[in-house]
A and B are shown apart, each in its own frame.
Chain A
């Protein structure tokens, strides 16, 4: 509820009476007939005293002394206070540090798309995709290799029983990988808090990388171990 100071109410009544043509007592008389200090609510007075008087500019609320008379056309509204936004508005939504997607994200994305297209194009100009002889069920090449991303599995097959190498290990790995966010309950993403997770994952990724490299470059006739410098890398782009 807004509390309208008594002296203002009184003045507005006077002004109304004056506009109606009646002879109301002058404002000064009415004001002076009041007890001093009673016209302005105590709380407001105290506040303005704390602020160091009505004229201070640093405070949140600056009160302006009421004018002696109503306005020229008998209007009764006037500027009561200037309230600075900081003192009454609590800005909760912080705009944060944001940038426009155009051009700050679209431009790099476009550049990346151009780059990868150019790279693939240039690579393709110089190196041809393999096309060996027509498929022949009766001529098994030696060695026979899976595509490189499955060479890790093929490597495992040389070490373990097919049930373990082809099913159990990849099955467990895929399930663990898929459920990683639910297994790793550590909320932090700072590297120093995640030493274990980082270790495990690095070992895991390196495990496949090493197997793929061995499968690609260190397996010759009969999928036996060889060194690439002995047998050569002639099939390197037979991917």
Chain B
């Protein structure tokens, strides 16, 4: 009896909380967990904020492929980069995710493309929303890449030793525009068809092999079913693949060239 008075009964929420803590402890102690989250990970048991752990967060994780452990104080100022390069990259990731979603519902044939998009609007949960995000994200990415280029220029950040990264950047700009342009055709509506017609007519003016280039890209003399398939493959596979390679070179060079450029 005396014992009961000393130890008041635990309420259910308290018990649940204790149980949850115990379960979390067990989980974090398991070999499974510790094999995933290496020492210093913020998800590992007993993470504390110390200089050593701050280093480990980067050094012991996949992030080490992108970031060094420390950077110049100046490099973390958002007012310098305006995060435009980073935003371009995040938009690319967002576009990849939403794009994969769209691929589940889209067939690149002249007969199916348009109606697939239409039923995406009406039949698929969140279909319209995801399509919207893919579309506006693409426009935003063109804009942010353009602005990133402008900010790099105005900082003189293309000067030695970063000359080559600028060249890589110009390639990225072209790839971004091409990705956006190839995607434009895919809904196969009047907007797509004629915007791409106007755009590709310009290619025909290229001297010497303008017509040949146009023929290969369109898969014929005129935009048609062949063009749709070609541009689909370019849009979902080839251009993203090439872009990712150049992105890797771009990010690697940012580090090799001594981190981002210094203040003006």
Q: What is A's interface to B at a CB cutoff of 8 Å? A: 96-106, 108-109, 112-113, 116-117, 120-121, 123-125, 127-137, 139-141, 144-150, 153-154, 157, 162-163, 166-167, 174, 177-182, 184, 186-191, 194, 197-198, 201, 205, 238-239
B180 at interface (Cβ–Cβ under 8 A)?
A: yes
Chain A CB within 10 Å, residue with most, of B189, B191, B264: B191
When distances are taken between beta carbons in the complex, the residues of chain B under 8 Å from A105 are 67, 71, 75-76
When distances are taken between beta carbons in the complex, the residues of chain A under 8 Å from B189 are 130-135
For window 64-120 of chain B, which residues contact chain A by CB distance below 8 Å?
A: 67-76, 78, 83, 86-87, 90-91, 94, 110, 114, 117-118
Residue pair A182, B163 in contact (C-beta under 8 Å): yes
Chain A CB within 10 Å, residue with most, of B121, B139, B150, B192: B139
Q: Which size class do B's interface residues fall under?
A: 35 or more
Residue pair A123, B129 in contact (C-beta under 8 Å): no
A130 to B181, CA, bound (A): 15
CB-CB nearest in chain B for A192: B264
Q: Which of B153, B177, B205 contacts A167 (CB 8 A)?
A: B205
Shortest CB-to-CB span from A158 to chain B, Å, is: 12
Shortest CB-to-CB span from B76 to chain A, Å, is: 5
A146 to B197, CA, bound (A): 8
Given A120-B133, A127-B132, A154-B198, A189:B190 Cβ within 8 A: no
A178 to B126, CA, bound (A): 41
When distances are taken between beta carbons in the complex, the residues of chain B under 8 Å from A125 are 129, 132
Residue pair A167, B72 in contact (C-beta under 8 Å): no
Residue pair A124, B133 in contact (C-beta under 8 Å): yes
A146 to B195, CA, bound (A): 4
A99 to B51, CA, bound (A): 10
Residue pair B191, A238 in contact (C-beta under 8 Å): yes
CB-CB nearest in chain A for B158: A181
When distances are taken between beta carbons in the complex, the residues of chain A under 8 Å from B155 are 189
Q: Which of B167, B187, B210 contacts A131 (CB 8 A)?
A: B187
Given A129-B131, A144-B194, A162-B205, 11 more contacts at CB 8 Å? Answer: A101-B63, A103-B54, A123-B136, A130-B191, A134-B114, A150-B181, A150-B202, A157-B202, A191-B154, A198-B154, A238-B191
Q: Which of A100, A182, A186 contacts B70 (CB 8 A)?
A: A100
When distances are taken between beta carbons in the complex, the residues of chain B under 8 Å from A194 are 156
Given A180-B166, A238-B191, A189:B264 Cβ within 8 A: yes
Residue pair A166, B69 in contact (C-beta under 8 Å): no
Residue pair B70, A112 in contact (C-beta under 8 Å): no
Residue pair B114, A135 in contact (C-beta under 8 Å): yes
Chain B CB within 10 Å, residue with most, of A136, A147, A162, A184: A147
Chain B CB within 10 Å, residue with most, of A120, A128, A140, A201: A120
Residue pair B73, A97 in contact (C-beta under 8 Å): yes
Residue pair B188, A134 in contact (C-beta under 8 Å): yes
Residue pair B153, A101 in contact (C-beta under 8 Å): no
Residue pair A239, B73 in contact (C-beta under 8 Å): no
Chain B CB within 10 Å, residue with most, of A98, A154, A186, A201: A98
When distances are taken between beta carbons in the complex, the residues of chain A under 8 Å from B133 are 120-121, 124
Residue pair B117, A98 in contact (C-beta under 8 Å): no
A132 to B160, CA, bound (A): 48
Shortest CB-to-CB span from B116 to chain A, Å, is: 11
CB-CB nearest in chain A for B155: A189
A105 to B94, CA, bound (A): 20
